[in-house]
Amino acid sequence: MRPIGNETGAAMSSRASDLRHDYAGALPEFSRATGASERSNQAHALSTRLLDYWRSTLPLPVAARRRALDAVCADARRDAAAAAAVLPFALGDYDEDIVYRATLAHVACARRARPQASTPVRDAIEWVARRLALNRAAVFAAVASLDDESVLEMLLPFRLVLVEAECAAVHRRLELRPAGATREFLRIWAELRDPVAGH
C-alpha cells in the first residue's frame, strides 16, 4: 500500500499490486531501451524499492531521510548504476525538499548517462501528469527550476493538472529565483491564476 495521508493532509492510496504497472512509466527512458522482459524486471525492481522505502525509510524523521538522500546522491554522482536508488525518494516521499532534490538528482544522473537526452525531464513530467509522485508540486518545481525554455514549454499544459495548493507550493518554492525564464514562467502563470492581481 502507498502511505495514506501526508504532512499536507492529502489522502493517497494505491494497491501494492498496481505498483508494477503504475511505476513502469517512472523508469528513466535511457533504461527503457530494452526488451519487454527487461522492462518488466525494471518495473518490478522499482516497485520493490518503493515498498522497501515506505516500509523502512519513510517512517524515519525527515532529517534522517534527508541525510539518507544525501548519501544516495553522493553514490549516484560516483556511479551511474546507483542512480536508480534516487527514484524512491522522488516518487515515494512527500517532503518537499526531499522530492525536489531527488528529482533534480534523477535528471542530473540521466543526463550524465546521455547528455543530449530530454527523457529524464519527460519522465518527471509524467510523474506529475499521472500522479505517480506523492508530492507532485515538488517534482514540478524541480523541473521548472532548470530554467530551460524548452523544458518550461513542455510544462505549460501540466500547470492545469495541479490543484491550487500545489500551484501555491510551486510558486513559493521558486519565487525567490533570480530573473530568468523560470521567473517569467511564474509571472505569467500567476496572472493566469489571478488576472486581477496581475494588474
User: Using one digit for the tens of pLDDT, what is the confidence trace for 159-171?
Assistant: 989 999 999 999 9
Angular region, 100: left φ>0, alpha ψ -120 to 50, beta rest: alpha
Q: What's the grid cell of residue 171?
A: 510558486
Is 162 a domain residue? yes
Alpha carbon distance 54, 11 (integer Å): 15
Is 2 a domain residue? no
Please identify every stretch of the chain with a pLDDT value under 70, giving residue numbers as ranges.
1-39, 42, 113-118, 178-179, 195-199
Amino acid at 127: W
Pick from 145, 111, 107: which is nearest to 126 by CA?
107
Is 6 a domain residue? no
Pick from 139, 133, 106: which is nearest to 28 by CA?
106
Domain that holds residue 40: 16-193
Q: What's the grid cell of residue 42?
A: 525494471
Pick from 92, 81, 98: which is nearest to 30 by CA?
81
Question: How many independent structural domains does the chain possess?
Answer: 1
Is 4 a domain residue? no
Is 8 a domain residue? no
* pLDDT tens readout for residues 104-128: 999 988 777 665 556 889 999 999 9
Is 140 a domain residue? yes
Alpha carbon distance 121, 38 (integer Å): 22
For residue 62, the 8-state DSSP code is H
Is 11 a domain residue? no
pTM of the complete model: 0.78
Is 42 a domain residue? yes
What burial class does residue 102 get, using C-beta atoms within 10 Å of its C-beta: 0-12 exposed, 13-18 middle, 19+ buried?
Answer: buried
